[in-house]
Amino acid sequence: MMITTTAHPLSERSGDALVYFVRERNGKISSCPDRTLNILIKRAQAAGDFSAKTGETLISYPLVQTNSTTPAATTTVRIMVVGLGSDPIDEELLRTVGGNTAQALVKTRATRPGLILPTGLRRSEENLSRHLVEGLILGDYRFHKYQKAQEDDEEKGRGLETIQIHGRDLPGIKKGIRTGLVFAHATCQARDMANEPGNLWTPDQFEEEGRRVAEKYNLTCEVLDRPQMEEMGMGGLLGVSRGSSQPPKLVSLTYRSGKKVPTLLLVGKGLTFDSGGISIKPGEGMADMKYDMCGGAAVLAAMQAIGELQPETLDVVGMIPASENLPGPDALKPGDIITQYNGTTVEVANTDAEGRLILADALAYGIKTYQPDYVIDIATLTGAAIIGLGHHTTALLGNDDTLAEKILKISERCGEPCWRLPLGKEYRKQLKSKVADLKNIGGRPGGTITAACFLEEFVGKTPWVHLDIAGTAWNYTKKSYIPEGPSGVGVRTIIELIRTWAT
């Protein structure tokens, strides 16, 4: 998709759609620059067909008036009016409206719309363009890579090809567009990775994509393979992958700002398919377990965005422990004992609690190797997170109040809200084993918390936050800019955290 800007008169534009945005206040709809269109809006409102609710659309097909210089004389095929509602204008509302606009345009098969930024909203055109663009691109997302195109299939339509944004502050609009594109493209990249089937997206693909991103954005990429893991004693990654013919990989991408700044370590769970191993999952819903690598996808996509943004206030290391969990002849068995990278022994009471085992190795190795000042891990870790918070909110746990509060505020602003759960020695007791240092599960009570307690054993005193996205990585709350299937959750929150770190 190409996005351009212009301050030229609207009558000079010839595209296949022209989009205006209007507000509703106390039953009245704000005016737009086109007088003829204002009359149409009033008639539609009187008929009860349009009230400018958030995301509501009204479409007209104007007559071409070649002898007029008014906006109504545009040669645009259709004019669309999109409601902004009456709620306070914030980032989430703009993203939602952007998503609604994209979906409405696609239904009309418009591919080259022009957008007229609304005025009088007490928001800069940079801010408006950034979040509308985010919503437009995320709302226009589609994944039909493995399907034949059908001309009459609306869902597989061409989508938006070019967008022209009309406003006054062109430098500000361009800056907003650039930022919105980085956030949206990274999120779509995470969605693309997650949508790939398990037979085509394996640990090798995480390595391949990691090397591609590193080369394109001048990052450093390091990959540990099975022999290196054996030499280092990474019992978690080695153990989980034993039932699969696919060897595990630990993919690390490093961004250096060249300045004396803190280092943030990102770790994303990259379980490319999770059958549960010997503790096998029920058949119903198992196909969704190709999404168990959404945390790894989020980290890799965020590193792509970091490469584009080149932040100066943080160095960032992104790490993806990648593996499959299958019930092969050499698979881990319930009751087996493994030794993690830091020497901790773990009784594997349930082989379907495998994500924490590969994350533990990555966390311990990453902290020892890179000496980060802060750590964030993101993982589809526990079904208990879905039971506790549904598909609407990400579970957040951590050992550092300042980092946790920062992420909570930013996630809310990004439309990816988190809810903090407690940690404590009471929960840690549930992981006590009679034969090893730890068990990998603590029973059903507080399952999300005990999983985080397990991870906490491998971060020491480093400020750390854990994001459990089991309920939000797919089947997320329905929004105009979030499709069915993988949502790409966490990507925008991580990018915004890094982008605004100094503030």
DSSP 170-233: HHHHHHHHHHHHHHHHHHHHHHHHHHS-TTTS-HHHHHHHHHHHHHHHT-EEEEE-HHHHHHHT
| C-beta separation of 66 from 84 below 8 A | no
Q: Residue 278: CA atoms inside 13 Å, Cβ hemisphere, count?
A: 16
Structure tokens at 63: 């007559």
DSSP-based three-state secondary structure for 91: helix
| C-beta separation of 278 from 239 below 8 A | no
As assigned by CATH, the class of the 11-143+159-168 domain is alpha beta
pLDDT of residue 354: 98
The boundaries of every CATH 3.40.630.10 domain in the chain are: 196-499
Q: For residue 477, count CB atoms less than 10 angstroms from its CB and return exposed for 0-12, middle for 13-18, buried for 19 or more.
A: middle
The C-alpha angle with vertex 400 and arms to 463 and 292, in degrees rounded to 5, equals 75
pLDDT of residue 159: 85
Query: What pairs with residue 60 in β-bridges?
Result: 79
The boundaries of every CATH 3.40.220.10 domain in the chain are: 11-143+159-168
Phi-psi region of 119 (alpha: psi -120 to 50; beta: other; left: phi over 0): beta
Q: For residue 215, count CB atoms less than 10 angstroms from its CB and return exposed for 0-12, middle for 13-18, buried for 19 or more.
A: exposed
> Is the pLDDT reported for residue 23 higher than 80?
yes
Q: Residue 447 to residues 48, 276, 346, 406, 499: CA-CA distances in angstroms?
A: 50, 16, 17, 25, 33
Q: Would residue 281 show up in a list of annotated catalytic residues for this protein?
A: yes
Its sign, for the CA torsion 425, 429, 434, 437, is negative
> Residue 35: which pLDDT band, with cuts at 50, 70 and 90?
confident
pLDDT of residue 154: 58
The C-alpha angle with vertex 287 and arms to 283 and 290, in degrees rounded to 5, equals 135
| Weakest mean pLDDT among 6-15, 291-300, 330-339, 352-361 | 6-15
pLDDT of residue 1: 80
Q: What pLDDT digit, counting tens, does each position of 170-182 carry?
A: 999 999 999 999 9
Average pLDDT value for residue range 66-85: 71
pLDDT of residue 38: 92
> Is the pLDDT reported for residue 77 higher than 90?
no
Q: Would residue 158 show up in a list of annotated catalytic residues for this protein?
A: no
pLDDT of residue 10: 64
> Is the pLDDT reported for residue 14 higher than 80?
no
> Residue 150: which pLDDT band, with cuts at 50, 70 and 90?
low
Cα–Cα nearest to 224, from 365, 68, 127: 365
Q: Which of the following CATH numbers is that of domain 196-499: 3.30.565.10, 3.30.300.30, 1.10.1060.10, 3.40.630.10? A: 3.40.630.10
Distance, in Å, from the CA atom of 467 to the CA atom of 156, rounded to the nearest integer, reads: 33
Distance, in Å, from the CA atom of 195 to the CA atom of 156, rounded to the nearest integer, reads: 16
Q: What is the dihedral of CA 165, 140, 97, 480, to 10 degrees?
A: -170
Average pLDDT value for residue range 42-63: 93
Kindly state the helix (H) or strand (E) to which residue 355 belongs, with its residue range: helix 355-370
Of the candidates 130, 191, 356, 492, the residue annotated as catalytic is 356
> Is the pLDDT reported for residue 162 higher than 80?
yes
The C-alpha angle with vertex 203 and arms to 199 and 209, in degrees rounded to 5, equals 100
Cα–Cα nearest to 447, from 372, 366, 370, 388: 388
Of the candidates 281, 406, 420, 428, the residue annotated as catalytic is 281
